[in-house]
Structure formats: C-alpha cells, structure tokens
Amino acid sequence: MALDNGPTMDQILGWCKRRGAIFPSSDIYNGIAGFFDYGPLGIEIKKNLKDAWWNSMVHQRGDIVGIDCSIIMHPAVWKASGHVDGFSDPMVDCKVSKMRYRADQLYFAKITVAGELLGYVSVLEDENMQSEAEQQADKLKRKQAKQGTLDPVVLKPYTEAMPGEYALIPSPATGQPGSLTAPRAFNLMFQTHVGAVVDDSSVAYLRPETAQGMFVNFKNVLNTNRLKLPFGIAQMGRSFRNEITPRNFTFRSREFEQMEMEFFIQDNADWQHWHQYWVQTRFDWLKSIGLDEKRLALDVHRPEKLAHYSRACTDITFHYPFGVQELEGIAARGNFDLTQHQNASGKNLEYFDEAEHRSYLPHVIEPAIGVDRLFLAVLCSAYHEESVENETRIVMKFHPQIAPVKAAVFPLVKNRPELVEHAKQLHQKLTRHWFVQYDESGAIGRRYRRMDEIGTPYCITVDFDSLEQGTYTLRDRDTMEQRRVSESELMTFLLEQYS
C-alpha cells in the first residue's frame, strides 16, 4: 500500500534529473546498468549524510574509531569470510530474451479454476505483484474460455518451483513457458587480476562490503589505540556487487557506498542488550536527520532465515515508492568473522581482558547502511509539492544538516551596484562558514522557488534598508515567513541551525 502524499518514483527521478543530483554513469554512451554519477547538488547531500554518520558514530562518541581500508584486499580475506564460496544469489536465465532474473525475486503461481489446472503465470517482485498475477490469471482464464471463478492466486518464489515445473512457468520477458532455466548460484563479487600475469593465481576481488576491513585490522587498531571492550571500528567507502538485476534507480546498484561499524563486545556480554541498543540508536539517528518516521519500520529476521553464524538480525526498512525495503541491517554476528580470520591467517586475533585475566575472541554487533539507499530515503522524505498562489511549489524539506546549500543571498535588484556589492560581501562572509549561494537573476519570488526546489533552508535578501540600517530579510523555506534581522542576529541564528 502506498502511503498518503508520498512522492512517486517519477517525481523523484524528475527532481534528480532537473536539478542535476544524479546522472546515469557514462550517460553519453547510454549509461551502464547499475552505475550512477552524483552531480554537483547530489554530492553535497551525499557528503552531508556521510559527515552526519561519521559525527554520530565516531566524533561524538569516545568508544568508536574510524579506519579506511583498500578496496582490493588479499583474496584470502574473501575465502575466509565465506564470500568466495557463498556470496551468491540464485539466478535464472530466459533462453529466448537473454534476460536474467534473481530467482528469489521472481514469483509464479499455478492457475486453477475449481481445482482444474489452467497453466502458470509469473511476475517480478514489487508492490503490485499480487494484482498483476491476478490480471494475468484472469487473461489465461478468458483465453481458455473457462467458466467459473479463479481459485485464489497464491504466489511462490521461483526458488520453490519443483524440478518439472521450470518448463511450465512463463518467462516474464516473453509471457511464454519453456525458456526459463532452473536457478543456479551466481557469485556477486567482481573479479579482477593483480599484477601483470593474468591467471588463477592473480585473481582478486573488488570488496563486496567494507566490514571485512574492520575484522582484518582488528589487532592493528587494538594495538595502536588504547581501547577496551566494548568498542567499535567504523568505516565508510565503496563496495561492489555484480547484482543480477540492478533496479529501482540507485537502490540496488553494482557500485555503491556503505557505512558500517563493527561494535566488539565481551564474549560473555549480554549481546541481546547491545543488539537492541544499536537497533534503537540507529533508528533514532535516521529520524534525527529527517527521515519520515511513518515510513520507517523494523523487520526482525526469523531465526530460520538467519545465516548459520548469525544470532539475530533486524533490518530498519523504509517505505520507498516501490515498496518496503531494507535500508539498514543490524546483525549480531557472534565471533564468526574473527574466528575465520584467526584460523585462516594463523595470527592470534584474541583480546586480552585485563579485568578478567583471560584472552578471547570478542563478539560483534554490526550496523550497516548503504549511503545511496539512505540518499533515496532522504529524497522521498523531503520531497513536497504544495499549492501556493495558484502555483505548485516544489520544496525539498531537507533537515538543515543535510541540505546541500545552507543559505542563499540575494540583492533585491541586480541593477543597483550598491546592493549587489553589499550582497556579495555578505555572501563572502557566510561562505567562510557554510556553503552559501549568491543569486541575482530574476524576480525575488522566482529565486525563492529555485532555492525551495533544492531545499535551501534560508534566503537572505539585501535591500535598501540593509544599506542604511544593516538589517536583512530572512526567509524560512518551510513556513515561507520573512523577518528582519541584523547581521549579528543572522550569524547567531545560522550558527544555531548548523552547529
């Protein structure tokens, strides 16, 4: 179900295109699926999100430190972590259209009327898949001129098809049965070769997650910082996954950025407490940077769905225009990763607990979020269309901390040099502290609208009173209210908003 008044994907895409926030990568060559470039406005928002995360996870805490690891690591890392053998999705090929699908995102149903089999339908996972399957089933019934009501259409993931069924389920690309293969495991890691010789011994991988950097550096960080459990190691950076079906814009890309933190705790600590603590802390943070609370929810993984080493996992989901999806995962991973790396490297990765006079491998809680998914959730929360004076005002209600441009300075008119000069000087002063834009073109109303559309929280207009009395008009993006302020009041106000 779509939430009331939420933006559509078309509105979000239209905004990104109009304002140059995100472009398809290699656009002039018609793009490359699953890769994106951030434009001048997009990169400001992205940087603000990353800064906000780093501030809350590292700078504002005494118990978490940061690192920045190489993207290509020793291939043994990915063997030990289980990614070489197990980081795969089930893939299905359509032999006719050459389309590929993730079998767990491809659903099918057996269509029956009063228990009599009419055939099969297939749909891709999305918000409307049930109604789409029902429409297809209805068509099938009419085609076969069957009387009677359809039995309920029950969708199952393609991974649950029986061996004989694969040939009967139609391909979503052609609508015809017989072309879909059985699912097979497809490893999502991008391979490359290191060095001049290209053979099996030179194979390396682009990291599919940043997390392993923290485990591999556990001892390096421990030995060079005065850390005591519980403590965390945080990292943000690029990750790469050769997703079978990149889709929903930047939501599922092949190159993306992650912000992950490994929070190490004693092996006998109350891990449920720490898991809950991080679920709550991360949920509160997402609200604090302006995500629409109504769209946020928790998805607690059922024990049978957990990886064998995982003790618990809770996703923070966001209701995107294309459905409810994982935004951030908070996993309790036991000491699986440190154990694996200790065994594979032969290096002792244990922590010596001075209070308890014993050594052990700590356990870990991992909050992991994708920057690009967060970016999209921020856009969906901020986008508003309002009717103002018979016009539609598009306004991005970004949290001030996330807004790409913090304020704009306008001279009332551009043909009065004294106003222009004064406005430029004020602009210069403000840019020492914040990213502030100067705009003199067009009527003031138009300039306000331009700033509303990119989510600039405050506009400052320099008029003739400014020259005589040193006061400015300060206009608020959300309320559109205007008030007079002196320069010192303006500075104090902006400092309060942005500190």
369 near ligand ATP (CB under 6 A)? yes
Q: In this chain, which stretch among 248-256, 281-289, 294-302, 446-454 interacts with ligand ATP, using CB under 6 A? A: 248-256
DSSP string, 461-474: EE-HHHHHH-EEEE
What is the nearest approach in angstroms of ligand ATP to the Cβ of residue 298? 13
Judged by CB under 6 A, the stretch of 9-17, 228-236, 370-378, 484-492 that binds ligand ATP is 370-378
**Residue number with CB closer to ligand ATP (165 or 326):** 326
Interface with ligand ATP includes 262 (CB under 6 A)? no
Q: What are phi and psi of 204, to 5 degrees?
A: -140, 170
Identity of the residue, 341 or 373, whose beta carbon is nearer to ligand ATP in the bound complex? 373
436/458 Cα distance (integer angstroms): 10
Q: Which two tokens stand for residue 243?
A: 């997703």
Q: Which of 485, 216, 176 is nearest to 344 (CA)?
A: 216
For residue 273, with 0-12 CB atoms within 10 Å meaning exposed, 13-18 middle and 19 or more buried, which class applies? exposed
The vertex-350 CA angle with 345 and 352, nearest 5°, equals 155
Query: Which residues inside 289-348 make contact with ligand ATP, applying CB under 6 A?
Result: 326-329
Nearer to ligand ATP, 315 or 463 (CB): 315
337, 372, 439, 452: which one binds ligand ATP (CB under 6 A): 372
Interaction between residue 256 and ligand ATP (CB under 6 A): yes
Would you say 136 or 381 has its CB closer to ligand ATP?
A: 381
Closest CA to 95 of 155, 32, 166, 34: 166
Task: Give the Cα separation of 129 and 135 in Å (integer).
Answer: 10
User: To the nearest whole angstrom, how small is the minimum distance from the Cβ of residue 16 to ligand ATP?
Assistant: 16
| 368 counts as binding ligand ATP under rule CB under 6 A | yes
Q: Which residue is nearest to ligand ATP (CB)?
A: 370
What is the 8-class DSSP label of residue 178?
T
Give the amino acid at 187. N
> Per rule CB under 6 A, is residue 380 in the interface with ligand ATP?
no
CA-CA distance, 339 to 460, in Å (whole number)?
A: 58
Label each residue of 348-404 as H, E or C: CCCEEECCCCEEECCEEEEEEEEHHHHHHHHHHHHEEEEEECCEEEEEECCCCCCCC
Residue with tokens 């909050």: 367
The three-point CA angle 87-89-90 to 5° equals 140
Q: Which is nearer to ligand ATP, 52 or 369 (CB)?
A: 369
On the 0-12 / 13-18 / 19+ scale of CB atoms within 10 A, 420 is middle
Closest distance to ligand ATP from the beta carbon of 253 (Å): 4
Contact 93, 180 (CB under 8 A): yes
44 binds ligand ATP (CB under 6 A): no
Choosing from 19, 110, 207, 241, the residue that interacts with ligand ATP (CB under 6 A) is 241
Nearer to ligand ATP, 227 or 306 (CB): 306
Residue 373 sits in the site that holds ligand ATP (CB under 6 A): yes
- CB closer to ligand ATP, 87 vs 448: 87
Q: Is 243 in the site for ligand ATP (CB under 6 A)?
A: yes
User: Which is closer to ligand ATP, CB of 93 or CB of 328?
Assistant: 328
CB nearer to ligand ATP: pick between 179 and 314: 314
User: Of these, 19, 46, 83, 252, which contacts ligand ATP (CB under 6 A)?
Assistant: 252
∠ at Cα 243 (208, 176), nearest 5°? Answer: 160
376 vs 394, which CB is nearer to ligand ATP?
Answer: 376
Query: Is there binding between residue 370 and ligand ATP (CB under 6 A)?
Result: yes
Stretch that binds ligand ATP, among 65-73, 115-123, 141-149, 362-370 (CB under 6 A): 362-370
- Number of C-beta neighbours around residue 435 at 10 A: 15
Residue numbers of the site for ligand ATP (CB under 6 A)? 209, 241, 243, 252-253, 256, 258, 326-329, 368-370, 372-373
